[in-house]
Chains A and B, each alone.
Chain A
């Protein structure tokens, strides 16, 4: 290693070769919200919009923290990363999103969110 180069620990997403148990082969059919997250994230990175890159989304997922990475659902990680980037890039504001979340919850008759 070159002098002065920062020694960075192995990322918690970088799994190749780690000890792990048998592969659980049970599957679930994607729920509608999971598809919507996938499609939205695809639009955000597509050639027409280029609002973010796939690399930024992955980097954002890797930055959510090990507990989040290991406890959140796959498409929750995607949406959390996309949300962070949408805010960081100034595409939408926190107030806009919070306001719309409350409005949607009211519209759907859901309890107030966390």
Chain B
């Protein structure tokens, strides 16, 4: 193909080259095949699939951060987030689908951290796809047995007297940690607080740093 950007033939041809990934493995092709066949059979529509992709792309740590910042600034919301997490995040348009959101609160006495030793359960509708390390053999094997060593690898060292509570996500609940609000944030707006909250703090491998 010509590399001359002024080449009209090039521009013309480009219109008909499908934009695809550089490499597609066998299972990427199998997904396409299964999807196309099921759409043709009317099991679901192309539009429903597109909507699914949009919902997937909209999820992410920013949604969890909204819930956290609101809980820090609105005691009634915090209460509902801790008692019925799924309902509390529905206010942000998050549907936990076949799972339930279970929020665990960090306090000066208890630090919570999430793992799934059997697979990789994670609150995807709220926090988006999990990081690679969350799905890794090393994290899944070790977090439940030597949480303090793994936390230290993430740079998290807890004060003496703090209980580490690991949550092994084995069934229907999907967990999010409600981190402690850092010192020095009394004057921040909810939006500024949201910006402080990060994904790893909601998994519990870090704490929210002071600004």
Contacts and interface: CB of A to CB of B under 8 A. Distances in A.
Do A and B contact each other directly (Cβ–Cβ < 8 Å)? yes
Given A47-B98, A92-B37, A101-B33, A40 B49 contact: yes
B53 A45 contact: no
Given A40-B35, A42-B97, A108-B18, A76 B141 contact: no
A74 B43 contact: no
Nearest to B168: A16
B56 A39 contact: yes
B53 A97 contact: no
B35 A75 contact: no
B160 interface: no
Given A24-B136, A39-B52, A80 B27 contact: yes
Nearest to B132: A27
B119 to A, nearest CB: 6
Given A43-B52, A82-B34, A104-B29, A38 B129 contact: yes
By CB atoms of chain A within 10 A, which of B27, B117, B132, B137 has the most? B27
A113 B26 contact: yes
Interface string B130-149: 01110111111110110000
Given A23-B133, A36-B35, A17 B30 contact: no
Contacts of B24: 33, 108, 110
Interface in A100-114: 100-101, 104-105, 108, 110, 113-114
By CB atoms of chain B within 10 A, which of A15, A58, A83, A113 has the most? A15
A35 B53 contact: yes
A61 B119 CA distance: 10
A14 interface: yes
By CB atoms of chain B within 10 A, which of A79, A83, A91 has the most? A79
Interface residues of B, number: 51
Interface in A74-91: 74-76, 79-80, 82-83, 86, 91
A111 to B, nearest CB: 11
Contacts of A16: 117-118, 140-141, 144-145, 168
A10 to B, nearest CB: 11
B140 A15 contact: yes
Interface of B: 18, 20-21, 24-38, 43-44, 48-49, 52-53, 56-57, 97-98, 117-120, 124, 129, 131-133, 135-142, 144-145, 150, 153-154, 168
Q: What are the 5 closest A-B residue pairs judged by CB atoms, nearest first?
A: A16-B117, A33-B28, A100-B33, A20-B141, A39-B52
Interface of A: 13-28, 30-33, 35-40, 42-43, 45-49, 51, 54, 58, 61, 70, 73-76, 79-80, 82-83, 86, 91-92, 96-97, 100-101, 104-105, 108, 110, 113-114
24 contacts: A14-B118, A15-B137, A16-B141, A16-B145, A23-B138, A24-B133, A24-B136, A27-B132, A35-B57, A36-B32, A39-B49, A40-B31, A40-B49, A42-B56, A45-B98, A49-B43, A58-B118, A58-B119, A70-B137, A86-B34, A100-B36, A105-B29, A108-B20, A110-B24
